[in-house]
Structure 1
């Protein structure tokens, strides 16, 4: 059975993916800051899952959490990085602290977690999946989500850079379109804390620019995409996979 670390697993897509992989038979370490939610997720996932507290903005916390996960799982075959923050704010109003918070979580945390796990992933010739977004390089810029989109573009470049330095590990950037589903803490969505007045002004711009294709991918389909990526041989893994909704179900494109 695969030994998988899922970071950002206390809520949203991260929780859905972590619980979903465990139900598919993986031994899973669920990592996040909110330990109570994380323990609830581990209980839902079943006996193959453990909860490990981790702050992705703290290098010491990340390394300790990865070490604990590797010890508990008996190694690490896969790493899935899902944390992201995406405040709705115009670039002209995005202050330095906001830029730092976005990059600390969306990019730097991914780099630090990978660095901590790379000895284990090299030994297992394992795989890494980073969750990206249509707001990154793949899609058009989203007004109001400029800083978020820039961070996702950086994450996509980070994927390529890790592949160049560690070719025996399979690195994939998974670009996720609109995705919905889940219940309770597992419910998807990133609009918490948004300025709804600004949202009402930017939404028509997103539609007119083609940012929102109007097709929603069920979260169950996304879990299956992640499971499929992790089930492939690292030597044949793809640097980018695009997962988005389609009229008849999930559409998955690969580059």
Structure 2
């Protein structure tokens, strides 16, 4: 029975993964900021699931939460890092505060959690999985989500660096295609706080650029992918795993990509 810490487990994909791993027999510690939602997730995960408050942008909170999780589980075999924020904003309108907020959660938070968990993962020759995105280096650029995509590229490089320094731990970048999560609090909520006018203009551009394959990856498939990574032999290296629904075609960059305009209808594709 694996002892798994799932970070960002109060909602969205993290909640689905935490509950799904518990249902598959793992002992799970669910970490997140929102206590009420976290306890609800732990209750749904079943007996033995532990809820631990953790603010991933606070170093002391990360160390305390990982310590509590290790004590409750009797050690840590796996860490799954799922948190991310994805403001919809064109790069020209992305201010310094927004850049810092994105990197605090999507990159720095991942490193703070990892630093706290490394002693435990080293002891167990464990695994660490980080959810990335098609918006990163392994897919086309999503206009309006440029800062988010840059942070995912940075996250993937960060994981590579951790792997180089700690080769006894199985570090995996899990590139996830479009997945809406589950229902209610298990939904991703990726578009929370978005400028809906900008979103309406962005969607046709994303479709044109083939960012959106047209099919959502079933959440059960994603949970099974994570479970498969975690249960592989410790000698098996899985540095990159790409999980997406390809029924609508794999994402690719359109040669006639049109820019996302600052207002009105999307800019037309220039004639050749």
TM-score, with normalisation over the residues of structure 1?
A: 0.95
Question: Aligned residue for 1:209?
Answer: 209
Q: CA RMSD in A?
A: 1.2
Q: Is there any run of 5+ residues in structure 2 with no aligned partner, and where?
A: 251-272
Question: Aligned residue for 2:239?
Answer: 239
How many Å separate the matches in 2 of 1:234 and 1:188?
Answer: 30
Question: Aligned residue for 2:33?
Answer: 33
TM-score, with normalisation over the residues of structure 2?
A: 0.89
TM-superposed CA distance for 1:125, in Å, is 0.3
Residue-by-residue CA offset, 1:19-77 (whole Å, 9 max, x unaligned): 10001000000000000000000000001211000000100000000000000000000
Residue-by-residue CA offset, 1:65-103 (whole Å, 9 max, x unaligned): 000000000000000000000000011111111111100
Q: Which moved more, 1:209-218 or 1:65-74?
A: 209-218
Q: Is there any run of 5+ residues in structure 1 with no aligned partner, and where?
A: none
TM-superposed CA distance for 1:119, in Å, is 0.4
Does the aligned pair in 2 maintain the 1:3–1:28 contact within 8 Å? yes
TM-superposed CA distance for 1:140, in Å, is 1.0
Does the aligned pair in 2 maintain the 1:216–1:246 contact within 8 Å? no
1:72 to 2:64 alignment: no
Matches within 5 A, 1:39-54: 39-54=39-54
Q: Which moved more, 1:33-42 or 1:198-207?
A: 198-207
Question: Aligned residue for 1:218?
Answer: 218
Three-state SS of the structure 1 residue aligned to 2:235 is: helix
TM-superposed CA distance for 1:183, in Å, is 1.7
Question: Aligned residue for 1:168?
Answer: 168
TM-superposed CA distance for 1:189, in Å, is 3.7
Three-state SS of the structure 2 residue aligned to 1:4 is: strand
Residue 85 and residue 181 in structure 1: after superposition, are their counterparts in 2 closer, same or farther (change >3 A)? closer
How many residue pairs get aligned? The number is 249
Larger helix proportion of the pair: 1
1:86 to 2:81 alignment: no
Q: Which moved more, 1:107-116 or 1:182-191?
A: 182-191
How many Å separate the matches in 2 of 1:205 and 1:129?
Answer: 31
Does the aligned pair in 1 maintain the 2:89–2:145 contact within 8 Å? yes
Question: Aligned residue for 2:145?
Answer: 145
Question: Aligned residue for 1:200?
Answer: 200
Question: Aligned residue for 2:100?
Answer: 100
Residue-by-residue CA offset, 1:107-155 (whole Å, 9 max, x unaligned): 0000010010000000100000000000001011111001000000001
How many Å separate the matches in 1 of 2:203 and 2:247?
Answer: 22
How many Å separate the matches in 1 of 2:189 and 2:207?
Answer: 18
Question: Aligned residue for 1:114?
Answer: 114
Q: Which moved more, 1:183-192 or 1:118-127?
A: 183-192
Work out which of the two has the higher radius of gyration on C-alpha atoms and give 1 or 2.
2
Question: Aligned residue for 2:158?
Answer: 158
Does the aligned pair in 2 maintain the 1:229–1:237 contact within 8 Å? no
Does the aligned pair in 2 maintain the 1:78–1:121 contact within 8 Å? yes
How many Å separate the matches in 2 of 1:99 and 1:221?
Answer: 32
